[in-house]
Structure formats: C-alpha cells, structure tokens
Structure 1
C-alpha cells in the first residue's frame, strides 16, 4: 500500500455475514419471527434485500446470509464443501444470537444449506427454526449426482443461461466481465452441491413449506415433493409458474411466493402470541 492510499475500515463481522442493505437492525426485544434467508448457487444476499419491506408486519426482521466470495466478501475464498460451510453458518447464527424465534428460507443450494444448518443447530442443543421454507431445490438425498462444476468456462456460461440465471435480455453477459467475475463463485457453489452426500438422520420437527416452479430444469415438482419426508410436522407444497429463478425481481411468481410467506409467517406470529398469553395464565 502506498502512503497516499486511503485506509478503508473493514466492515464489522456481523455485517459481513448478514448485510443490512440500509435497513436498521431490529430492537433487541422486538417481537415476532426473524426470517433467515440463504442464497442460491452463485447468488448473493442482495436477492432478499427488499423482503423486509414486502413481508411487513409478518416478520420481526429479514436476515440474509452473505457467503464468502461475493459482495463485501469478494476477496474471501468461497467454500467448496458443505460441512465446513454449514458449521460456520451455525456458529455465526449462535454468536449473533439469531437462534430465538426464527424461520429459515432457502432457494436451491440455499434450501440444502438451511436444512443442514437446522439439523446442526438441533444436534448442538440450540433451538430449531419454527418453520423451514425450501424453494427450487431437490430433496437432500437427490443431491450429489451432477458434475456441472467440472464444466469448462464456456459450457458453464451456457449452463447458467440455460437455467435462467441471466434473466431475459441478458444474453450479452455470457461473454462479459460480469459473468467472468461470478463464474468462480458459481463453480465453487456447484461443487458444494455436487459433493454433498445426505446422511440419514431424524427429520426436523418444524412445519415445512416447499415451492417448485413449472419450468424449472434444476428441480421438478416430484423432486421438490420429496422434501415431504424431511419433517415430522406439517408439509405444504406450492407449485408456481416460472423457471428456476422465479423468486427474483420480475419473476412471474415472486408476488405469490411473498404472499404465501407472509401468510405462514403471520400464523407463526399469531401462534407465538397465543403461547405467550397461555403461559401468562399458568400459576
């Protein structure tokens, strides 16, 4: 570093894992369920940046996980296997006190991470999520049979375009610097997914809601339905219109997805209020 180069303070660790995107943090005693969101392969926390606004009073907060290799963590090496990634996310959730009255949402790779983190927290004796939302993802036992992370760069670009990662009108990015910067992270995330091997264990005991899309080449309706075996509680499956990235801005079913989330999270809030009221009547 030259003497004239300005020093830039590193952001706090909390902001690295859970960037706020301008939203103030909730009060420590804020009532309601916190929704913790996990990104898809190659994705960033910013896909969830406006969810707090859309979900409104149904949640106390929305916290999106920012994985290494992207955003303010661009200079960090991305994870290439699931086990250390899951352990570190679980550590961070506990360290930041985010494992009280919370729910998980994960899309694609994010759904797999949400499930594994939920199991890890349970195994550590931590409170589990009150609800698990999985979207655009095969059930865990269906992972581990693909090799997209081994594709040459040009074929990986075509794969990303083929599953809708670039969106309509973005085909010019196939040869652009933007996608070139994203390819290493996408490749690493796909390696996490393709190297994953499910280990049989007791399913989570929280309710689960699954979302599939009509034109999703990554996870069809039957593969999403297979999540039903991964909860001992209720299971609800919504089949929506769109491709693999139906949840992103402009996606054909984004509003319906958010509406369903609002409804389920509002029911969680209502249940929590009822439980607190009943507890106050116990002497």
Structure 2
C-alpha cells in the first residue's frame, strides 16, 4: 500500500515497542548460518542505507576474501521481515540490534560498515555494545553520512510522495534503469519514510568517544554528506580516522565506484586481519582472491 501525497504528521516517539525477542535473533541475519564461521578471523557486520536491504551487500563475501565473514543486517519492514513494523526512532533500534549481535555471538572479532542511515546505526550500535560491556569493533567504517552531532537539520520524512521520489532520484538512488528503480521505490516508500524518520528525529547524546579506529568514506558529489561533514566523524573516536573519497553521488557504492570501494575495503580489512592475527594478508595468507 502506498502512502498518500500528504501523509499525516508522525506522532512524537512514545515508549519503545517490543520487537524481535532474543529467541528470534536470526531474523536480523538471514544470510548467516546458525553458527558464525569460527575460521574467519573477522566478521564485517553491514548496515544498509534508509529503505535498503541486505541485497546491496550481495557478492561482498567473494570480493573481500575468506578471512572476512560478511554479515548483512536485515531491518524490520523489508524482505522476510516485511510484516514487521519498521522503527521510527534510533534508541530501540540500536538496543535491539546490539542485543541480537550479542546473542548471536557476533560481538567479538568484528567490524562494522554502514552507509548513510546505516553509518549512524552502526555508530549507535557500537556505543550500545560498549555500554553493555562488550568490546568495541575492531574498526568502524562509516560511509555517506555526516557526523552524528550534525544531524537534526532535515525533515525529509515529512516530504510528500512526489518530493520524496525526486529526492531519491536527485541523490542517484534509482540506479541506471530509472523506470525499474521508480517501480521498486514505489513499493519501498513506507519503509523509506520510516527510516528517514529515524534519521530526522535523531539527536546525538554526548558521551565519551569510541576508541576504535574509523574510516569515513565520502562521495565527491554527495550533497547531504559533504567532505567537511564526513571529516567531522573525527570527534567521535580517540583512535585514528582516515577519510577516503570516491567519485559519485550519495549512492556511489551501488554505481561505477563499487569495484573501487570493494578493492579498497579488501586492502583495509586485510591489513586489519594481519594486525590482529599476524597472518599475512592477501593471496599468500588466509584470504586468497
């Protein structure tokens, strides 16, 4: 069912709903076997952009090598979770996802990757896991997102449907086949609007910075996550922060720059595995192409 052109103004966040109890943690990780690969030195937990699904991480395992177990996250309201109500606020989302990560035994030897909304969720999940006494990620990759303290300046979730479609088109989110992309977007508008509500209502809560190193990934023509806004992630870690720039718009990771991104991620993750295990990276180590 599509939204009307003038949706009612969303209500203010109320008490957190009960969602996905621990017994159902598998729903968050539909592409992962019941037991995480014990032979993989590192798990890369991947979070999609607003309205996105784990399909954007398809083939990442092959590209990143056998030393990295790619763990895509499926949020409520899409795919096998289509009948679940999507979140509209960050706190319950981060709390439930962190609980699922811990329950599945993924809160060790792990890194986080998130794009746009996914970057913000990844950061909040890292903070929540730390609060629960778990280790911080070995590395946090934040892509296509301004720093957390810069959120609060947009209200995209209140756009009428035509304006929301235009926004996605202008950001390059329809893909090379716009007609097919528009048909897909039409079905995704309700969950996209819910995800944008999470981002628009988000307000950073001051807390100690993380200690883990970060890589902040930026597209050269991204109007909603500029180089300066991405660089501002530096305030949220006492570890190192490296910014990498890629050609393209906000959705650069699904366009021509995808192979460049995966090549660079492979190098960064190889180096991370080597630093933590002492095993050689690349074809001579555990992770051949």
- Tell me the TM-score range normalised by the shorter chain: 0.7 to 0.9
Q: Is the 8 A contact 2:40 2:67 kept in 1?
A: no
1:218 aligns with 2:224: yes
CA distance in 1, matches of 2:95, 2:71: 18
Distance 1:40 1:172 in 2: 19
**Partners in 1 of 2:261 and 2:112 — Cα distance?**
14
Say whether the 8 Å CA contact 2:155–2:200 is kept in structure 1.
yes
Tell me the residue number matched to 2:238: 232
Indicate the SS of the match to 2:245.
Answer: strand
> How far apart, CA to CA, are the structure 1 residues paired with 2:176 and 2:84?
30
1:256 aligns with one of 253, 260, 282: 260
Q: Out of 8, 13, 16, which is 2:27 matched to?
A: 16
Assess, with a 3 A threshold, how the Cα gap between structure 1 residues 199 and 170 changes in structure 2: closer, same or farther: same
Offset, 1:147: 0.7
Q: Mark the runs of 5 or more structure 1 residues left unpaired by the alignment.
A: 1-11, 276-283
Once the two structures are TM-superposed, the CA of residue 257 in structure 1 deviates from its matched residue by 1.1
In the TM superposition, residue 78 of structure 1 has moved relative to its aligned partner by 0.4
Alpha-carbon distance between aligned partners in 2 of 1:124 and 1:113, rounded to the nearest angstrom: 16
The Cα offsets for residues 215-241 of structure 1, whole Å up to 9 and x where unpaired, read as 112211111111111111111101110
Give the equivalent residue in structure 2 for 1:75. 83
Task: Give 2:160's aligned residue.
Answer: 152
Work out which of the residue numbers 131, 142, 148 in structure 2 matches 1:140.
Answer: 148
Matches within 5 A, 1:173-184: 173-174=181-182, 176=183, 178-184=184-190
| TM-score, normalised with respect to structure 1 | 0.86
How many residue pairs were aligned?
257
- When Rg is computed on C-alpha atoms for both structures, the one with the higher figure is 1
The counterpart of 1:112, out of the listed 106, 111, 120, is: 120
Q: How does 1:45-194 map to 2 (within 5 A)?
A: 45-59=54-68, 61-171=69-179, 173-174=181-182, 176=183, 178-194=184-200
Give the Cα separation in 1 of the matches to 2:128 and 2:33. Answer: 29
Note if contact 1:51-1:62 (Cα within 8 Å) is conserved in structure 2. Answer: yes
4+ residue runs over 4 A deviation: 23-28
Asked if the contact 1:211–1:239 (Cα under 8 Å) also holds between the matched residues in 2, the reply is yes
CA–CA distance in structure 2, aligned partners of residues 205 and 259 of structure 1: 26
Deviation larger for 257-266 or 73-82:
257-266
Per the alignment, do residues 252 and 173 of structure 1 end up closer, same or farther by CA in structure 2, a change over 3 Å counting? closer
CA distance in 2, matches of 1:47, 1:78: 19
Residue 39 of structure 1 is matched in structure 2 by 48
- 1:88–1:241 CA distance, 2 compared to 1 (3 A): same
Matched residue SS, 1:181: helix
Contact 1:58/1:262 (8 A) holds in 2: no
Partner of 1:5: none
Q: What is the CA–CA distance in structure 1 between the aligned matches of 2:252 and 2:90, rounded to whole Å?
A: 25
Residue pair 2:175, 2:181 contacting (<8 A) in 1 also: no
Deviation at 1:26, TM superposition (A): 6.7
